[in-house]
Amino acid sequence: MSAPARDHHAALAPAPVVGGTAAGPSGGRRPGRLPVEYVLPLRRSDDSGLTGLTDHLRHLARWVDVTVVDGSPPELFARHAAAWRGLVRHVRPDAALGGAQGRALGVLTGVGLARHEHVVIADDDVRYDESGLRAVHELLDRVDLVRPQGHFDRLPWHAWWDTGRTLLNRAFGGDWPGTVAVRRGTFRAMGGYDPDVLFEDLELARTVRAYGGATATPAWLHVRRLPPTAAHFRGQRIRQAYRDQAQPLRLLAALAVLPGVVAALAARRPGLLLRAAVATVAVAEVGRRRAGGARVFPAHTALAAPLWVLERGVCSWLALGRRWRGGVPCADVRVREAAHSVRTLRRRLAANGPGDLVLWVEAAGRPRGAVADRTAGATGSAPS
């Protein structure tokens, strides 16, 4: 076990980023590239947006080595392999890994195969540019995990609505935008993270802290995201609220919203609701202006915060109902745990001892390095 956690949960000041070179698969140096692995866990049910995703991967491959861990059905996997051959490394999730969360299994596979110490993990709606990748690379020289801040590039109504959540999160520390960056050595030494929880990025960050690593949430590091479809947004409301069960104070605040609204209406005091809405907008505005956020968050987005708070107040009660029924459906199972506390994770690490992806992963008795040895059979190795 390493030293006690150093939690830089405040923004690290941006430092000059020095351009570097990265080693290609053959071991040669490629000027202008970064020694960074970009891991994209993917599972698609259709090929909508394939052209845009391919363009994004081509964009990334100019600066970093990319591994797409693709859990899509066979016919889609084959199309992806054909589209990305020679562009990125395209593999399936390691079949020896056990867990309910497909994304987490993709992360465990991708980081296990990483060719570099610095690893960026990002969903397929995240759009890093070169400056963002270089900033993350620089920060990982100082900490074990970096949590950038996301913003939607286009703002249809549902993205505007969800930006209210982002701004409130920024006011109280930081948002969770579907991407983190981690040191491969720390990740492997602590044994990865539990793939049987709903709030995976929080679980990963807490595991790093429990292991003794340092984390950073740079509020100035804004990463662009594509908005989901309105149907996807609607389908995620209760699932997103369920994640608050890993953060007790946040959960209690959310559960208090609906009773508070009912009490104010019953007392015929709508002014209380108006003042609460104004206060919520004010807090969101603090988050919007924090660390240069006004450059990427339009002024009107703070107005979405009261609507999002009301939605979360309703959905939090519905999420409790889901917990009483056994959890949130994921693939063929229900996931009950949102994320473990740092205290619980420290106990697990102390009891099991850190190892090479062994704490929660059943490796079927294979020797260390067996996963990496299968890389030669992966489709579409990155070009030299």
Task: Render pLDDT for 69-95 as a digit per residue (tens, 0 to 9).
Answer: 999 999 999 999 999 999 999 999 999
**How far is C-alpha 62 from the chain's CA centre?**
23
Burial readout 184-213 (b: 16 or more C-beta within 10 A, e: otherwise): bebbbbbbbbbbbbbbbbbbbbbbbbbbbb
What is d(CA 281, CA 259) in angstroms, rounded to the nearest whole number?
Answer: 20
What is d(CA 119, CA 109) in angstroms, rounded to the nearest whole number?
Answer: 12
Q: For 42-75, what is each residue's pLDDT tens digit?
A: 999 888 889 999 999 999 999 999 999 999 999 9
Torsion sign across C-alpha atoms 296, 300, 308, 170: positive
How much is the pLDDT for 122?
A: 98
Q: For 300-333, what is each residue's pLDDT tens digit?
A: 999 999 999 999 999 999 999 999 999 998 877 8
Residue with tokens 């995976």: 200
What is d(CA 192, CA 181) in angstroms, rounded to the nearest whole number?
Answer: 13
Q: For 332-359, what is each residue's pLDDT tens digit?
A: 788 999 999 999 999 999 887 555 454 4
Tokens of residue 306, six digits: 């009261």
Domains along the chain? 6-232+340-367 (3.90.550.10), 233-335 (no CATH)
Q: For 201-230, what is each residue's pLDDT tens digit?
A: 999 999 999 999 999 999 999 999 999 999
Three-state DSSP class for residue 237: helix
What is d(CA 30, CA 10) in angstroms, rounded to the nearest whole number?
Answer: 34
- End-to-end CA separation in angstroms for the chain: 38
How much is the pLDDT for 376?
A: 33
Tokens of residue 193, six digits: 């993270």
What is d(CA 245, CA 337) in angstroms, rounded to the nearest whole number?
Answer: 8
